Structure 1
Amino acid sequence: MIQFPNAKINLGLQLVEKRPDGFHNLVSCFYPVPWTDALEILPAQAESTFTLSGLPVPGAPTGNLCWKAYELLKKDFDLPNIQMHLHKVIPMGAGLGGGSADAAFTLKTLNQVFELSLTIEKLEDYARQLGSDCAFFVQNKPVLAVEKGDVFEPLELDLAGWHLLLVYPNLAISTAEAYAAVSPCFPKNSLKTLLTQDMAAWKETVVNDFEKSLFPQYPVLPQIKAQLYEMGAVYASMSGSGSTMYGLFQTPPAAPLPFPAEYSVWQGVL
């Protein structure tokens, strides 16, 4: 079976407080985006294998979240050996949740292929053991994420028809680095309420709190954000803890795009 794990963007990200366990409580809208990897899982006669292609993925294959997802289910179910292949397209360290999506889609695919009859709730429980935002990709629909980003509240937000431009400046920012410089605080306004405003107002109200600490360190990020607005974006922001910047447009941005060839750029319609 072949699946296509997709990315997500964050519409606003409020860092509320540091938790006793060292993580942070946050509030953010997770919104699925059709920029995808490709994942294939087949039963195998011989021993289990996991192979990779596409963008180079650091670390040993057995440390990959896809393999960890397989091992997690294998502890509780009599899974047979498998052949698993991941073709990596979504950049890593980009704030797009690509690795988390790969893990969640591995769980969902194994559930389908081997008829494990796992409920959505049970799949989300397994996904939370692999990473804070993995569980989002089980249902893969817009939500308001709270706590560590692994608890979800329903959100009526439909951006269907909006044009999205993603710009990854070939700059990986680790989650640890991003969180090291933040100063969490309780927001004055509810993000859920702010997102009900007309999108033209988001420029001043819907903020990713990581921008405050990361923009001074990486001047290319505010530069890209400014370029997106110059191109006509109604709203532009950083996704997650960076470093992908994105713009939302009512019509497709005009070519040629003003970004260097070494950047990864994706555009499409939501």
Structure 2
Amino acid sequence: MVVFPNAKINIGLNIIEKRKDGFHNIESCFYPVGWSDALEILPADIFSFQSDGIDIPGNPASNLCTKAYKMMSTDYEFDPVSIHLLKAVPIGAGLGGGSSDAAFTIKALNELFGLEISLEKQLDYARRLGSDCAFFIENKPVYCFEKGDRFEEISLKLTEKWIVMVNPELHISTAEAYAGVQPLKSEIDLRELLKAPIENWRNGVKNDFEKSLFPKYPVLKEIKERLYNEGAKYAAMSGSGSTLFGIFDKETDLSDIFNQYKRWQGYLK
């Protein structure tokens, strides 16, 4: 079985407060995008995991795909598998690539072996692996809150809008990003802000990480400004960085402008 774990963007990201467990409560809109990895899972005699493409740091035994397999295999009986991940979504880029790989592993194992695991159980597995893993189980636009693992439906539809995503290959750890923010509850609910026309988002829909990371990494601010200069209706950093995205009304090829960076562009769904 071959599946294509896609990335996500954050449209708005407000850091509300620090929790007693050390995590932070946030509010954001998660929106799926087409930048994807490729994940092959096949029955095998013994379990194995390997990856190609972008180098994944750390021990393969600690990869979220491996953890997802081991977690599920303690609850259900199914054959060992070989997992082969072709990594294309940048790491530490605010796109949830690793989380998506884990969630798609859960969904693929469920389908491959006919486990008939309920949606709620799949969501529970995903939440145990990481804060934003659960989003990729249903993989549709949502308003998220608490640690980013609780969701409400949102009516936001950006179908046929064009997105340009630019990653300057900076790896910004979650710890580094959170070290520079001061939690503060927003005066206006993000869901209300997103009801406005997209061209009005620029003045209200913000990513709290930009305030501390832009001075530290000026290239991030430069990319955002260039996206606006090229006609983006809205541009922002995704997650805790370092990917910037611009949303356009029509197809806009910026591959020559950002040819020194990793990038992806295409239609939103």
Q: Name the structure 2 match of 1:245.
A: 244
Q: Which stretch of structure 1 is more off in the superposition, 250-259 or 155-164? A: 250-259
Contact 2:255 2:263 in 1 (8 A): no
Residue by residue over 1:42-96, the C-alpha shift from the partner in whole angstroms, topping out at 9 and shown as x without a partner, is 111x211111111111111111000000001011111221111100000000000
Residue by residue over 1:105-135, the C-alpha shift from the partner in whole angstroms, topping out at 9 and shown as x without a partner, is 0000000111111111110000000000000
Q: Name the structure 1 match of 2:55.
A: 56
Counterpart amino acid of residue 162 in structure 1: K
Q: Name the structure 2 match of 1:198.
A: 197
Aligned pairs for 1:78-93 within 5 A? 78-93=77-92
Separation in 2, partners of 1:81, 1:160: 39
Q: Residue 129 of structure 2 aligns to a residue in which SS? A: coil
- Cα drift, residue 260 of structure 1: 4.4
Separation in 1, partners of 2:120, 2:155: 21
Q: Residue 129 of structure 1 aligns to a residue in which SS? A: helix
CA RMSD after TM alignment: 0.9
Counterpart amino acid of residue 114 in structure 2: E
Counterpart amino acid of residue 248 in structure 1: I
Q: Name the structure 1 match of 2:41.
A: 41
Q: Residue 91 of structure 2 aligns to a residue in which SS? A: coil
Q: Name the structure 2 match of 1:138.
A: 137
Separation in 1, partners of 2:253, 2:104: 34
Separation in 1, partners of 2:216, 2:182: 15
Counterpart amino acid of residue 26 in structure 2: L
Q: Name the structure 1 match of 2:64.
A: 65
Q: Name the structure 2 match of 1:29.
A: 29
Q: Kindly tell me the number of residue pairs found equivalent between the two proteins.
A: 268
Are 1:268 and 2:266 matched, yes or no?
A: yes
Contact 2:164 2:254 in 1 (8 A): no
Unaligned runs of 5+ in 1: none
Contact 1:231 1:254 in 2 (8 A): no
Are 1:107 and 2:106 matched, yes or no?
A: yes
Aligned pairs for 1:119-138 within 5 A? 119-138=118-137
Q: Residue 76 of structure 1 aligns to a residue in which SS? A: coil
Unaligned runs of 5+ in 2: none
Aligned pairs for 1:81-230 within 5 A? 81-230=80-229
Check 1:27–1:256 CA distance in 2 against 1; reply closer, same or farther (3 A cut).
Answer: closer
Q: Residue 74 of structure 2 aligns to a residue in which SS? A: helix
Separation in 1, partners of 2:173, 2:159: 31
Q: Residue 149 of structure 1 aligns to a residue in which SS? A: coil
TM-score (norm 1): 0.98
Counterpart amino acid of residue 6 in structure 1: N
